[in-house]
Structure 1
């Protein structure tokens, strides 16, 4: 078993341990709602429903990459990164809290191929599920007290809560932009910074903090996560219009039909060409998607987004180089970064 497989197993165990706070006689059904959303129970449960657990992996790999020659093979020695497992779980629980609420706000009926929580149990109950995930995440951070001094735990909690506030800022901007027709590229970055980069930056920052990195090195880890998030989001925007549906599992019609203010779209609107003319006429139908996507491509939207993705990728890798991760954890962190920065799905 390699280090990433070991971490994924421990992440899942820790998540179940944290969510079990609600596994009480009067709240068993409530607990089941959380386990359903997390992908462990209900129709369609399993690895496809749980997601890839990228964020908690980033936490543990960052921590491990700062501990030189950490032993994995000795059954009598617990790897150091296990001390950070509750923080890794906290990050994943925050991510899932945001997904439950996003599904309500976006009126999305499917999440990873299954009914969303609000579809199964109604929006009021789903809001409560999201709230519970948020609270449990903050309780999970406090479990770090078993291994770390109070000042380190407080700093980790502060990083996490600042990222949560950024999530709400990003979501506010995303929703407020829906009714506007004057959004420019400059307004795109604060939105995706909040919605995507803030939490990834928290992953690598907290991981470095718990790996006892000095502050300058923590900042390199944080900036690696931040620019990783920006590159990841731009690639997601590209795949949302021109991706291969058989590979991504997502309809390329959705982003254009939903009128998403993605980077290629904002670039195309700024060109004031045929794409912008069609966009101004009203919602795009599924039957028009292929032709509208070609208009956007012809006007340079795809090429521009790909170039920006390359720039953000280079920044992320430069900061990762500055962070100088070590050992098996460092090797695995680099491999994960390269995989996320060279996406086909």
Structure 2
């Protein structure tokens, strides 16, 4: 598989760059605890550290693959790949605080372990390191392209905060229209994947039209992933997912199946609007959602968006081996067979 071959090269390079960045900026002993908090969150150190705690590093891999698929040398995009991984992890640290999540990958989150104030500071440090990492693009790119990359990363960060704003504001609303769901997940999930794809293609030398096609690939991929994840969060196999399938309904998340059913205003909507759902009610309500067409609708949206993502990818790619690897990664991310 092309993706596995690329991944075997990418992952060590990304980890080395991340380690080097932390060591460069936190050499003094007085900052050792701050470095440790970042290393802990990145999955390198502390109880439960290792591959599972580190995650799959999907976003830097998309950045590097899009650089290669645009016809460029992926080594030149390492600063961008490092930056997007740090942006992703900065957002996770802050999300965990805002969502009151005490566990991530089966480990205590930074705020649960060290308190909110230090977690906020750790996230802020990661955000700053991301922008410092990106500046190293000037070693292989003209200044004007490095500036364009910096603007793209800043815009992506703004999109993330917009999506999180909508997500938090929706918590106090028992229902939202379907058209409000897409901007929320577009910011929270799709914006960073789209930014990664465009950033990689920019470094790889793609023209503006192809950069836009790479962006559309990442954005549609992100929306498809979220729709798929929303379906799995209700009807998936808990053992395979590694998380409870009751949590989305019990926590009151505005996932796509729920938003769809609320608009229909049938039995599920009446129960949802009556107040919080208990774990014991989840199996019956999941069945009601299915009967009302929520699962079919959600999976149809995931299918539509997957098709859009792959069409944009085929339009953008100039290097076929890296393009094939990107398609394999996309379908793997969406838990689909080729």
TM superposition score normalised by structure 1? 0.94
Partners of 2:272 and 2:318 in 1: CA distance: 45
Q: Which runs of 5+ in 2 are unaligned?
A: none
Shift of 1:328: 3.1
Instruction: Provide the residue aligned with 2:16 in structure 1.
Output: 13
Select the residue among 224, 232, 235 that pairs with 2:225. 232
Name the Cα RMSD after superposition: 1.3
Instruction: Provide the residue aligned with 1:41 in structure 2.
Output: 45
Residue correspondence of structure 1 range 194-213 to structure 2 within 5 A: 194-213=187-206
Instruction: Provide the residue aligned with 2:32 in structure 1.
Output: 28
Residue correspondence of structure 1 range 165-204 to structure 2 within 5 A: 165-204=158-197
Partners of 1:325 and 1:55 in 2: CA distance: 20
Shift of 1:317: 0.7
Instruction: Provide the residue aligned with 2:54 in structure 1.
Output: 50
Shift of 1:338: 2.0
Instruction: Provide the residue aligned with 1:72 in structure 2.
Output: none
Q: Which runs of 5+ in 1 are unaligned?
A: 69-79
Q: Deviations over 1:261-300 (max 9, x none)?
A: 0000001111111100110111111111111111111111
Partners of 2:331 and 2:99 in 1: CA distance: 31
Select the residue among 49, 64, 69 that pairs with 2:68. 64
Q: Deviations over 1:290-338 (max 9, x none)?
A: 1111111111110100111111011001101111241432221121122
Instruction: Provide the residue aligned with 2:256 in structure 1.
Output: 263
Partners of 2:34 and 2:294 in 1: CA distance: 45
Counterpart check, 1:131 vs 2:92: no
Answer whether contact 2:101 2:109 (CA < 8 A) is retained.
Answer: yes
Partners of 1:94 and 1:26 in 2: CA distance: 24
Instruction: Provide the residue aligned with 1:215 in structure 2.
Output: 208
Answer whether contact 2:70 2:316 (CA < 8 A) is retained.
Answer: no
Instruction: Provide the residue aligned with 1:107 in structure 2.
Output: 100
Instruction: Provide the residue aligned with 1:162 in structure 2.
Output: 155
TM superposition score normalised by structure 2? 0.96
Residue-pair matches, total: 333
Select the residue among 246, 251, 256 that pairs with 1:253. 246
Select the residue among 2, 6, 18 that pairs with 1:3. 6
